[in-house]
Chain A
């Protein structure tokens, strides 16, 4: 490599000395100065044109919002925001479900979105014509998730200690989630001092029938709601 460069340099020098012999020292020096003078502006012009080309092509190639959101984005890259359907529609459920609407009117749960307890209304069976299916209803855990007494919960918020307030009973046995009002089970002041199992006497057709919406149940189920007062065990 070094040898080659040396021989090239030798060639140049031989050419230069030939030029010197042929045109004279002054002419050679003048030509050289002219070349240097010409070369710099020419390089600048070429550079400017090249830069303008790059920027110009870039400006055409890039989309109109280049720089606004970083590098250009294609419609493909934003599809997740455009195509994702909403599940919670905040629909006008009460427009059709007038019974529930009437029940909640003026009640604490009136301000709730139906979808807060029922499932997202995207699961609703389409435009409502003909047979209407109920959305899956709420279950017990949906009551305590809000209304169980907990540290951290605002003190003025309606809440109960679930292990004290009719422990073991189902919320929906007494409470209607739409009206939020409770039908308080009757408290019993029983005539007998030592009680046999409730179902001994209280049967559908027995001594003292219980309401039709009750089913035969062990004592603890009965006593979960019907507090036995004085005279009871």
Chain B
């Protein structure tokens, strides 16, 4: 056998399929019959299920009777008007069932103070829920160069790091620009919490108050999505006694936020990150931005 000529070697290969239990011919026949059957069966199944179940909403699957693509929500915080009363924080926690502590909050108020020496002091006692009356500045009044209340919330970035890092697609952007968390899909890995450069996210702690009834998942400001999709304003905007928070549709050129963004100088927090926030600030001091 060892002295077989080389010419026989290639013959060994084509002979192999003959030993397979299913011949090529059988496979091709089966495919020719089976594939149309699969496709046809799928089509019949689809037609049947379309007949028996409610049709999938084509415009917006998130909330019924709401066309997300028709809106582009924008938010303006007037840092000059804000008095730091904390009504917005209380309203948010009440409206959304957010835990009442400082670390787990969807919105909060900071008092940013810059000293004459140039140091910046940021305070947010109890997330600003009860105002700042108890929070004394650690410096003398004469050393205050500028001080301002800055309301904070999720920036609903157009280029959002949180949606980028989510490994399971639980956090996503609706067509109206609002970034939401699907609590049934979130695995609570916390990547988005770490990725957010604005600290706007937290993991819901186990306890009585859970915004979506689930602990251990990521949570954040949704612009009160359950309200805005029904034509209401976010709770924080409603209760603000000095109208420091403004919310509206940027698709509507007559809305207050559109007018402000068109006519006045606004700025966003940390523009250098290129996240393109949808929350804009009016009258934010240069030294405190």
Binding site for B on A (CB under 8 A): 9-10, 12-13, 15-17, 19-20, 25, 28, 31-32, 35-36, 39, 42, 46, 49-50, 52-53, 56-57, 60-61, 63-65, 68-71, 73-78, 80-88, 90, 109, 111-113, 115-116, 120, 141, 144-146, 148, 150-154, 157, 162
B47 to chain A, nearest CB (A): 10
Contact call B83/A154, Cβ cutoff below 8 A: yes
Of the A-B pairs whose beta carbons lie under 8 Å apart in the complex, a sample of 24, sorted by A's number, is A12-B11, A12-B16, A32-B11, A57-B42, A60-B42, A64-B58, A69-B173, A70-B169, A73-B61, A73-B185, A77-B184, A78-B61, A81-B62, A81-B63, A84-B96, A86-B226, A87-B94, A87-B95, A116-B240, A145-B85, A146-B241, A154-B82, A154-B83, A157-B83
Once bound together, how far apart are the Cα atoms of A65 and B141, in whole Å?
57
B249 at the interface (CB under 8 A from A): no
Q: Whole-angstrom distance between the alpha carbons of A152 and B174 in the complex?
A: 36
Q: Is the CB of A145 within 8 A of B182?
A: no
| B107 beta carbon closer than 8 Å to chain A | no
Contact B81 A154 (CB under 8 A): yes
Q: B23-31, B189-197, B253-261, B273-281: which lies at the A interface?
A: B23-31
A-side contacts of B46, CB under 8 Å: 60
Quick one: CB contact mask for B1-29 with A, threshold 8 Å, 1 for yes? 10010011011101110000000100110
**Is there contact, CB below 8 Å, between A82 and B182?**
no
> What is the distance, in angstroms, from B89's C-beta to the closest C-beta of chain A?
11
Q: Are B38 and A53 in touch, CB under 8 angstroms?
A: yes
A65 touching B61 in the complex, CB below 8 Å, given contacts A49-B35, A81-B229, A154-B83: yes
A-B contact count (CB 8 A): 187
Q: Complex formed: what's the CA distance from A140 to B239 in Å?
A: 18
Asked if B241 contacts A116 (CB within 8 A), the reply is yes
Indicate if the CB atoms of A152 and B131 lie closer than 8 Å.
Answer: no
Bound Cα distance A32, B10 (Å): 9
Verify A10–B62 contact, CB threshold 8 A: no
Known: A16-B15, A82-B64, A112-B241. A148 touches B226 (CB 8 A): no
Interface check B106, CB cutoff 8 A: no
6 additional A-B pairs beyond A145-B85, A154-B80, beta carbons within 8 Å, are A16-B15, A77-B185, A90-B232, A145-B130, A151-B141, A154-B83
